[in-house]
Structures are given as structure tokens and as C-alpha cells.
Amino acid sequence: MTVADGFPALSLVGNETEHPSEAHDNLHTDDLGKGEDIDLSHGGYLENRELSYFKFNLRVLSQASNPEHPLLERLMFLLIFSSNLDEFFEIRVSGLKKRLQFDMQKPDPDGKYPEQILQQIHEQVRAALNEQYRILNEDLFPSLAAENIHFVKRQDWDGNLAKWAREYFDNEVLPVVSPLGLDPAHPFPRLVNKSLNFILSLEGKDAFGRESGLAIVPAPRSLPRLIKAPPEIAQEGDNFVFLSSIIHEYVGEFFPGMEVTACHQFRVTRNADLEMSNVEVEDVAAALQNKLHSRRFGAATKLEVDSGCPERLSGFLLDQFELARSELFELDGPVNLQRLVALFGKLDRPDLHFPKFSPGVPPSLANYRTDVFSAVDKEDQLLLHPFQSFLPVIQWVREAAKDPSVLSIKQTLYRTNESSELVEALAEAARNGKEVTVVIELRARFDEEENIHFASILQEAGAVVVYGVLGYKTHAKMLLFVRRENGRLKRYAHLGTGNYHRKNSLVYTDYSLLTAEETICADVHKVFQQITGMGKKILPKLLIHAPFRLRKALLKMIDTEKRAARDGKPAQIKAKMNSLTDPQIIKALYSASRAGVKIDLNVRGICCLRPGLPRISENIRVVSVVGRFLEHSRVYFFRNTRPQIYCSSADWMERNLSNRIEVCFPILNSKLAKRVKEELDMYLKDRVQSWEMQPDGEYKPAMMKRGGDTGVQEKLLEKLG
């Protein structure tokens, strides 16, 4: 099979006699992305990256108060906000603090210094947390109670519930807790990142005559934070008690003969970013394993206490964690709120969730359980998850593992689910004597330990495991099969915008391309060779890969649209991505906008570009879609290039374009390209789930109420599910 639908393996930017790799290499990018007289150091032209990310989290939080969502889904959005906020402090805030620590007072591209950014973050986070707990206490808890789902406070326990709670404390809590009195022989303990703890003030002397007055009680990490009360001793419905309430009620049992005069829960969030020097690292896996333990005890970035905690105790904690008063957050409820996610496994209330759906499978892949190769050989296949099933991709690897005609399998793994069917299939293929090479990115944040485990399984099965390229995360999503057919070798490839993770494929929107197109498959082979071997240069014909060519190609395609607009031709750019931060790309987009190019961007999270600025970005529109599924696919459309549609693993960020191995692939089949364009337009036209970015960087919902319309995600479920 050759390049589909008459698109030759030529230029990415409209010159049909120029080889794309040569176009990229010969491109003089010094003048592209300069944006003529646009000076990005002028703070009004760029949104701060960290504050932009936090605004995305505010859009997530807003879903918790959206009455259009089912009740338990609203609670889930509230908990996702908590989880996102923790990671925000673990990674982004800790990075800003480190810059202050080492006196790195260089301003960000938007002109703000780290100290200014931190001040704004603390102010905005404090307001957001107040709103989060207001939604929880005044809206969600009462609404759940109306549905007979109760969170019973200590003061509301009756005799039966109190007796049960005491028995739970005696049998489950007391045996495993180690209370820590504080004195010169017992200094303040090293507390694990995000663990639940209590600080107590005490009166009286213990058996040894000590009277330090302070103690710490760590909540056991082995116990659930939410316990369901037995139905026979509780009121009608589902009744839950927080572990923190049980510990608080009986905490005096840890200190017999002494009086507990105050007891307050707290939690510290720490720096969880792992840093590895590229110098003198002989074994990446071993070096990373040594770093993993330190993540639990990094420098503190945020202290949360319950709202009743007196200043004497909160101040003591701030001193212990070396935090400023601005880094203290007083919460009107449980400090470890995201552990409420356990509730969803303890309830059987489908009426309070989004309706269940079955991901669709295209008719051409109807036999995916037995024969994916034949379907892909006939025609390229394109899947949009979660609206369409990820199972054909998993089944393809399983089929290849058993197929005697398959000689080799190569795959990249960035994140995959904890009991990965793909890892099992790859291991089986290796045991069956096939050449299996897996590029595992060990540094996928928060999945490092799991990826080391998967690497061990694959190596034991006989697969060749490569840890990518030191200094460059392997973020590309590629899978390559080599199969003997009719006496010759034939390649098949899968390219995706998301991870090989079945569970994520049910909640993340991503494209999967399954293809046997010869040029693309040869390009995938070249990229694998570059990652696993060594050599100065490769020349893919259709794939565009970072960190070598992707930024250059994007700048040239943007420039092509600008030149078309200046020549009086229709010019248009449409793109969908997670984040947009790269200054060169932003300059180029501003310059194209000034030339008259119509630019529509769907940016889920961070967007440092500001639309609608007079004489700068008047032709640029930015929207963000937040809904049931996490928007994750990356799609680019340039009107005056051939091909016009690309999908990619890369966002338009410095790290993706400069410090990661990424691939961007064209959709060559005209029918599939038309479909991707239509689906991209659906996102850009959405008026139910989208938020539009304003020139000042704030976001406004496109439409507060549905008004009879349905959101883009629901429309895609109807179309593809």
C-alpha cells in the first residue's frame, strides 16, 4: 500500500516538489516566530503559565456546582480538583520555591517574578479552597443526605454508632497507631507527603515525668479514611464515618492519665518532583529507584489544617515545615478530601452517575477479536477514544503475540494500567520467540515505580527493554509490527495521541491510527532505530518528530498560512491540544493573526497566548472544553498545507518540542481526514461544555445553561459510541 488518496510523500507546507525532511532541514527559522515587532516581554501579551494551569483547575471545580451533572459526578469533580491541586503544589509550586531558594530571580516570559507568582497563587488557592468547601458543606453534603447518603459527624452519633466506633477504634486503630510525644528525645517526626496527622496539646505528666505539652498522632495509612457503618446500627440509607472522626473522638486513649486540651488534623504537601542528573548515571532504573523514596519526604510546599486549629499550633507546624504564613490553608472540613474517592466503591447508585456507555467499534473492525491485520491491510483505521473502544489496539498486540507470521514487535510505553494486558501480550510474544523491543519511559511522573516493575516483567520474558534517551522523555505513542506475508516482510503501525492505558482510554479523549501505509510505517521504524540505537540523523518522510523538526515544521506551516493571507487567499489554522506555552509558536501565531489568518484553538489547560488583543491577536479565539471526559487529543489543521490534518503526541510547549521525543503524524486517508476535521469543528463550535478565554486571561463559559443543546462529548457519544 502506498500513500493514500493521492497525497505523495512530499512537502508538509504546500510545495509539492520539496521533500519534507529537506524542507525542515533547510528552513531558516531565525525569522519565523519573531512576530515582527511583537515583544513578548511586554507582560500584557502572555498569560503566566502557572496561573493559567490553576485557572484550568478552577474550571474543573466549577463542574462540582453544575446542576446538569449527576450528583456523584459533581462530587468526583470536587475530588479531582483536590488531586490536581496537590500535584500543582508538588510540582509547579515547588519549582517556583526552588527558584527562590537558589535566588533565581529571572522573570517568566510574562514578566512576573517567582515571588509575585507565588503570592498570586496563594491568594487564588485560598479563595478556591473556601469555595470548594462551601460547595461541599452547603450543596453536596445536603444533596447527598437527601439521597440517603450520610456522613455522620461525631456530635450526631447515637449510642449504637458510638459503641460501634469505639469498637472500631479499639480493634483497628489503637493496635497500629504510634503516638509521638514531643520532647528533646522525641523531636518532630518526618511525616510522609500528604499523610493525615493530628497535632495535640496535652496537660499533665506521663509515667516518666515528661510534660512537653505537644504530641503528634499519625493516622494509619493502612486504614480506610472513610468507613461504612453497619446498616443494622445506623439510620436508613448509606452511612459513613470519617476515620479522622473516630481518632479525634478517642484520641485521649493514646495518652492515659493526661488531658487532651486540643486536637486538630493537618496535612503537609511536599515537593514530589524527581530530579536526576544526566551526568554519571550508569543505570537509569537503579538511579530512579533510589530517588523514589525521597519523593515522600521532599521540601514542604503547603500546610493544611482544620479551620479550628489555634494559631499557636498552626504556627508551631509552620516552623517545623519551614513554611511561611501565606502557605497555611485552613479548611472547613476533612484535610485529606481526595480520599473521599473511596466512597464510589462503597455505593451502588447508578442513578447518581453519568449513564453508562459502550465504546463503539467501526464496522470495518467488527472482527477485531480475531483479525485486526486484515482490516488494517485493507484500509487505515481511526479510533477516537473513549467514544470508540481501545480494545482493538490491545487485541492487535495479543493477536500478534500468537501469530506465527509476526516476526517482531516494537512499542513505546509511557503510562499503562497497573495490570497491563499489553505488557502481558508483549511478554507472551517474547516467550514465543518474537523479537520484542519495548521503549519504557521510566520517568513518567508518578508512574516510575510501576514502569520499573513492567520493565522487569518484560526482561524476564526475553524482551529487549530500552529506557529511552537520557535527558529526553520518550513521550511518542508508537507500535510497530513486522509480519511475513506472501514471502515478503510487511510493516503495520499504531500511532496515538494518548497512552497505552486501557483505563485512561475510558476517560481520556485520544485518537488511534492503525495503518499499513508503507511510508508511515517506514518512518516509525526509523524513529525506533534512532531511540534504541545511535546515529546522527534520520529523515522521516511523513512523520514529524521532536526534538528535531516538529517546532520548525509548525513554524513553517504557520508561516505558510500567514503568506497565504497576505496574498489575499483564505488562510486558517485550527488546533486542539492540552497546553500552549512555547514563545516561538505564540509569536508566530500572533504574527499570522496580524496578517489576517483566522485561528481557532481548543486548549484544555495552560494557554500562555492571549486572544483578542487589539492589533495583536484579534483573529485568534481560544476555548477550553471541560466535561465528563478529560480532553487529551492533539489535532492540528492548516488550510494551505498538504496534508491538512495532523495528530500528535505533542502539545505546543517548550518541553514537548525541545526535551521530549514526540511524533506528529498526518491523516492521509481523505475520508478519515474529513472526519477528524469535522470532529475538531464540533469542539470549536461547542456552546455547552466550552469556556472562552478573554484578552485578560480569564475564562467565561460559552453558555451557562444547555438551552436544549447537548455538549460536544455527548454528541460524539451518540455518533460513535
Catalytic residue check, 353: no
Contact between residue 265 and residue 84 where contact means Cβ atoms under 8 Å apart: no
Helix axes 159-168, 243-250, angle to 10 degrees: 90
Which string of DSSP letters, residue by residue, matches 626-684?
-SSSEE--EEEEETTSSS-EEEES--BSHHHHHSEEEEEEE--SHHHHHHHHHHHHHHH
| Nearest Cα residue to 544 out of 573, 515, 523 | 523
Give start and end residues of each alpha helix (H) in 462-580. Answer: 518-532, 550-566
| Nearest Cα residue to 309 out of 327, 333, 326 | 333
Looking at residue 196, its amino acid is: L
Looking at residue 612, its amino acid is: G
CA distance linking residue 503 with residue 417, whole number of Å:
6
Contacts of 666 (CB under 8 A, 6+ apart): 7, 12, 520, 542, 643, 645, 646
CA distances from 456 to 290, 430, 479, 503 (A): 16, 13, 20, 22
Contact between residue 712 and residue 682 where contact means Cβ atoms under 8 Å apart: yes
Contact between residue 304 and residue 235 where contact means Cβ atoms under 8 Å apart: no
Strands 478-485 and 406-413: antiparallel
| Nearest Cα residue to 245 out of 132, 163, 334, 305 | 334
φ, ψ (nearest 5 deg) of residue 223: -100, 145
Strands (E), 253-327: 259-270, 300-306
Q: What is the number of alpha carbons within 13 Å of residue 686 lying toward its C-beta? A: 27
Strands (E), 323-369: 328-331
3-state SS, residue 241: strand
Contact between residue 54 and residue 125 where contact means Cβ atoms under 8 Å apart: yes
| Nearest Cα residue to 448 out of 424, 473, 428 | 473
| Nearest Cα residue to 527 out of 540, 516, 514, 542 | 540
CA distance linking residue 23 with residue 29, whole number of Å:
11
φ, ψ (nearest 5 deg) of residue 573: -130, 130
Catalytic residue among 69, 264, 475, 545: 475
Other C-beta atoms closer than 10 Å to the C-beta of 314 total 19
φ, ψ (nearest 5 deg) of residue 623: -125, 160
Contact between residue 522 and residue 637 where contact means Cβ atoms under 8 Å apart: no
Q: What is the DSSP letter of 310?
A: -
Judging by beta carbons within 10 Å of its beta carbon (0-12, 13-18, 19+), is residue 358 exposed, middle or buried?
A: exposed
Q: What is the DSSP letter of 609?
A: B
| Nearest Cα residue to 422 out of 370, 479, 379 | 479
Annotate 467-495 with b (16+ C-beta within 10 A) or e (fewer): bbbeebbbbbbbbbbbbeeeeeebbbbbb
Catalytic residues: 475
